[in-house]
Amino acid sequence: MAESAEVQAIKEFFFEAALATYAGDGPKMPEGQTPPGFKGYKFGRDRYLYQDIYSAAGSYHNFGQTVIWMDEKPIWFMQYHGFCNDKRASTLAKQAMRAAYTEKKFIGGRGVKRLVVGDLHYGCNGMMSFGDFNGQDWVSEMKNGRDAMLFWHRYHGGLLTRPITG
C-alpha cells in the first residue's frame, strides 16, 4: 500500500529529528525534563515534536520509547528494550542508525540491514511499514571463531492515528 502524503511528511520528520538527536549526536534534554532515571532527546519543527527517552537499568539492560506528536497529539511511536555490554557496540548501532536515516531508509526505525566494522557485525531485521513495524537489531563480535553478542534490542511501533495509512 502506498503511503499517504501525510505519512510521508511524518516519516521525513522522523529522519530529520533522529539525525538531529541521538543518531546525530545532538544535545540531550536537560535534567528535570525527563522522568527520574531517564535521559532523552527532543526536537521540534512546525506542527511536529519528537521525543526519545530511555533508561539504562544499571549498566546492562535498557529500554525506551520514541514518540512523534503533531499538533500536540501523539501520532507515532516506537518502543525498544534490550542490552548493551560494550561501548563499541552502541557506537556501531548508532552508526548504523545514522546511515539508515541519512539514506531515508526505514527498516523498523533502527539501522541499516547490515554493517561490518572490523570484527563487529551489526544486523537489523525490521519488518513491515512505518505505520506498523517490529523487529530486532544486534551487534556481535567474532571471537575465537564464535559470535559473541554485545548488543541486542527488540522494538515495535507504528502510527497511532487513523485513517492515516502507511
Question: pLDDT band at residue 67, thresholds of 50, 70 and 90?
Answer: very high
Q: Does residue 158 surpass a pLDDT of 90?
A: yes
In angstroms, the CA 83 to CA 90 distance is 10
Burial pattern 102-130, b for ≥16 Cβ within 10 A else e, equals eeeebbbbbbbbebeeeebbbbbebeebb
Question: pLDDT band at residue 63, thresholds of 50, 70 and 90?
Answer: very high
Q: pTM for the whole thing?
A: 0.91
In angstroms, the CA 106 to CA 10 distance is 12
Q: Does residue 2 surpass a pLDDT of 80?
A: no
Helices (H) and strands (E) in the chain, counts: 2, 9
Q: How confident is the model over 28-34, as a mean pLDDT?
A: 92
**40: which 3 cell numbers?**
532523552
More confident residue, 60 or 5: 5
- Beta strands at 48-57 and 39-45: parallel, antiparallel or unpaired: antiparallel
**136: which 3 cell numbers?**
530486532
Q: Does residue 118 surpass a pLDDT of 60?
A: yes
Q: Does residue 163 surpass a pLDDT of 60?
A: no
Instruction: Kindly report each contact of residues 3-9 with a partner whose C-beta sits within 8 Å and lies 24 or more positions away, as own/partner.
Output: 3/129, 3/130, 3/131, 3/165, 3/166, 4/164, 4/165, 4/166, 6/164, 7/130, 7/131, 7/159, 7/164, 7/165, 7/166, 8/166
More confident residue, 123 or 107: 123
Give the number of residues written for the chain. Answer: 166
Provide the pLDDT for residue 145: 83
Alpha helices in 63-119 (DSSP H): 87-102
In angstroms, the CA 41 to CA 34 distance is 9
